[in-house]
Structure 1
Amino acid sequence: MVTMKELSDFPRPKILVSRCLEFDNVRYNGQVIHSQIVRDLEPIVDFIKVCPEVEIGLGVPREPIRIVKEKGNYRLVQPKTGRDVTREMDNFTDNFLSRLEDVDGFIFKSGSPTIGIRNIKVYSGETMAPVVERGSGFFTKKILDKYAGYPMEEDDRLRNYRIRHHFLTQLYTFADFRHVKDSGLSDGILNFNKKNAFLFSFYNDSIYRKMCDLVENARNGTGDDIIPAYETLLKELMQKPGDLESKAAIAQDIISSFDSSMSLPEKEFFKQHLQNYLEMRIDEDALTEVLRLYVHRYDAENLDNYTILYPYPDVLRMPGDSKRDKDYWSENK
């Protein structure tokens, strides 16, 4: 009997998230920010919530703060009150990171001088001063240093389909790898590397070959503990997904593994379907659905080896355009 992958087949990720995203009214103006991805994830992940500005006692509501660069030094100040909270923020961040348990990813509020990831304004002075550069928030900068290579995004960018899909793929891969590390089982890394073969080859085949070499050395007993080196390569591999041609090549590899069982019409259909994908007449989801169909028909017993088709639970797939199926021909439209 063919079965789809269930929610229970996936790990439960741990995510550090900005408290103001869906959870608490802790923004400087007392608001809470809507975030669809946080709402979608909330029932099936473990969130660790943080608002650095509230944690150092700035309160809600509060006067805005900004990053100031003077004589090469960066400070975090509250222009309206003249308060300098640089030391408080540094101390809080260091203490927080020293206590932070293992996490698999991060979702932060964009534009925040403390928790924003990119494009944060840095001013030349406290008031009436121009922006001299842009960078990361005070809190996030240390997160980026300690957790380089981890899935990390801002709420507004996660409205984009491709960014969201890549982030979730990273997130669930890292969560699965955390379980591999925690298990301490010698064959854990071997199984992890095998079941992600198509996915990792799509992301970066040359790096994946290096990962396979590490695993092979461990299998032959010629290598030391490979987890640290393997994890370094995993972070490098998953920084950027492959392109359209790479996805098409992997799709062909998947089909090739059982095409001897396919009928000629099925082969011709897939060939045309793949060409439509390469010509951008259909999207990635359409290609994935056809691949899923063939895998379930011809290789269902090895479903775990197709993480490229099931990188995360289907409940997290981005909804389509709500107006797509709207009846524009009814009398009231």
Structure 2
Amino acid sequence: MIDQVRPQVAVSSCLTGEPVRFNGGHSRDRFLSGELDPYVDWVRVCPEMEIGLGTPRETLRLERSPDGPRLVTRNTGVDLTDPMTALGAARARTLDVDGYVFKSRSPSCGVHGIPVYTGDAAVDRGGRGVFAARIIDAHPLLPVEDEGRLNDALLRETFVERIFAHARLRALLRSDWRPRDLVAFHSRHKMQILAHDPTAYRRTGRVVAQAGLRSHAELAADYTREFGTALARKATIGRHVNVLQHCLGMVSDSLDHTRRADLLEVIASYQAGQVALSVPATLLRHHARGESAEYLRDQTYFSPYPEELRLRNHVPA
């Protein structure tokens, strides 16, 4: 079992139940405040409250301008772009978290599809919240989602996987680590990286091969960039099948014909969309334990986050 760290995750305060919405209410999200809450440490942020708007308050919207979308109050037209931009820039400079969950459809915090208005007409529905944009621009590899997209099982799993991987690497690099510790970290994450990006798998390997030859700072910066880039790419069914078959090859010689055939059949069933990823992954991990395949058993691929979250139980579409 892989030892888990507790990710620090920034979150729009209303999503955890704080009454900071424009109407004095909240938008408590069941997954964030319920299932995920025992495993992460939240850093709650409400940019509207931080720039002094209070609650209840007038609603906001994005309006088109020659210099880009402006954040204004919907009825009185007060322009809040500058204070919100300044707050976002200040937060971005000091942000030290493993992920961020923003409030969807918010003109300050929304990540995707925010309407931009001219008069009463929405002329563009591809806007991004003013505050969120500053954070994302400053931290392009930070795992970021909004709570609406986390209703999708695959996006939810991907986000949670990334924040735990980010937290493990951050914990390593904050320790009194030595080159061999980075080598060990990479060794445990090889199958997880391979499931996301085979090309990045080779790039991260080349960085680790330089352990002991370069400064800690350079090595850490390059590995962090390559590791984050790899996990930001979607892990597809095909890449998972590749990893599962690769793992099977590691224990194949220790299995009899029947057990090997059973594993191949289950992997094929996953590839065909008939069973969840948890089925072949659990069987492979079982055989790795049974055959004392230490390298395979210790792969984070099999325990990328706490098993109690049960995020691999959905059948791929």
Residues 1:135 and 1:299: Cα distance change in structure 2 (over 3 Å): farther
Task: Report the Cα distance in structure 2 between the residues aligned to 1:274 and 1:158, rounded to whole angstroms.
Answer: 26
Return the match for 1:74 from 69, 73, 76. Answer: 69
Contact 1:118 1:136 in 2 (8 A): yes
1:121-136 matches, cutoff 5 A: 121-125=115-119, 128-136=120-128
Q: Which residue of 1 aligns with 2:42?
A: 47
Task: Report the Cα distance in structure 1 between the residues aligned to 2:257 and 2:296, rounded to whole angstroms.
Answer: 24
Q: Which residue of 2 aligns with 1:97?
A: 92
Q: Which residue of 2 aligns with 1:325?
A: none
Residues 1:61 and 1:120: Cα distance change in structure 2 (over 3 Å): same
Are residues 1:256 and 2:249 paired?
Answer: yes
Q: Which residue of 1 aligns with 2:235?
A: 242
Contact 1:197 1:305 in 2 (8 A): no
Task: Report the Cα distance in structure 1 between the residues aligned to 2:264 and 2:124, rounded to whole angstroms.
Answer: 53
- Secondary structure, aligned partner of 2:136: helix
- Secondary structure, aligned partner of 1:21: helix
Cα-to-partner distance string for 1:61-120 (whole Å, 9 max, x where unaligned)? 1111011112234321112123221222122223333333x2110111100000111111
Residues 1:86 and 1:245: Cα distance change in structure 2 (over 3 Å): closer
Task: Report the Cα distance in structure 2 between the residues aligned to 1:314 and 1:68, rounded to whole angstroms.
Answer: 44
Task: Report the Cα distance in structure 1 between the residues aligned to 2:68 and 2:150, rounded to whole angstroms.
Answer: 32
Are residues 1:307 and 2:300 paired?
Answer: yes
Identify which range, 36-45 or 151-160, moves more after superposition: 36-45
Q: Which residue of 2 aligns with 1:326?
A: none
1:51-200 matches, cutoff 5 A: 51-100=46-95, 102-125=96-119, 128-186=120-178, 187-200=180-193
Structure richer in helix, relative to its length: 2
Residues 1:65 and 1:179: Cα distance change in structure 2 (over 3 Å): same
> Which letter maps to 2:143?
P
Q: CA deviation at 1:222?
A: 6.2
Are residues 1:10 and 2:4 paired?
Answer: yes
- Secondary structure, aligned partner of 1:15: strand
Task: Report the Cα distance in structure 2 between the residues aligned to 1:34 and 1:107, rounded to whole angstroms.
Answer: 12
Task: Report the Cα distance in structure 2 between the residues aligned to 1:184 and 1:80, rounded to whole angstroms.
Answer: 55
Provide the alpha-carbon RMSD of the alignment.
Answer: 2.1
Residues 1:320 and 1:260: Cα distance change in structure 2 (over 3 Å): closer
Q: CA deviation at 1:247?
A: 1.1
Cα-to-partner distance string for 1:238-279 (whole Å, 9 max, x where unaligned)? 122332222112111112112221122111111211222222
Identify which range, 191-200 or 33-42, moves more after superposition: 33-42
Identify which range, 198-207 or 184-193, moves more after superposition: 184-193
> Which letter maps to 1:53?
E
Cα-to-partner distance string for 1:161-215 (whole Å, 9 max, x where unaligned)? 1111111111111001101211141222111111001111111111111111111
Task: Report the Cα distance in structure 2 between the residues aligned to 1:287 and 1:94, rounded to whole angstroms.
Answer: 45
> Which letter maps to 2:236?
D
- Secondary structure, aligned partner of 1:153: strand
Q: CA deviation at 1:133?
A: 4.6
Q: CA deviation at 1:313?
A: 0.4
Q: Which runs of 5+ in 1 are unaligned?
A: 322-333
Cα-to-partner distance string for 1:25-82 (whole Å, 9 max, x where unaligned)? 1111222113133122222211110111111121211111011112234321112123
Q: CA deviation at 1:303?
A: 6.1
Task: Report the Cα distance in structure 2 between the residues aligned to 1:319 and 1:22, rounded to whole angstroms.
Answer: 24
- Secondary structure, aligned partner of 2:172: helix
Q: Which runs of 5+ in 2 are unaligned?
A: none
> Which letter maps to 2:153?
Y
Task: Report the Cα distance in structure 1 between the residues aligned to 2:97 and 2:297, rounded to whole angstroms.
Answer: 24
TM-score by length of 2: 0.91
TM-score by length of 1: 0.87
Q: Is the radius of gyration larger for structure 1 or structure 2? A: 1
Residues 1:164 and 1:267: Cα distance change in structure 2 (over 3 Å): same
> Which letter maps to 1:134?
G
- Secondary structure, aligned partner of 1:228: helix
Q: CA deviation at 1:319?
A: 9.3
Task: Report the Cα distance in structure 2 between the residues aligned to 1:91 and 1:72, rounded to whole angstroms.
Answer: 16
Q: Percent identical across equivalent pairs?
A: 28
Q: CA deviation at 1:129?
A: 3.3
Cα-to-partner distance string for 1:256-311 (whole Å, 9 max, x where unaligned)? 11222112211111121122222222221222222222222123644663211110
Residues 1:300 and 1:32: Cα distance change in structure 2 (over 3 Å): farther
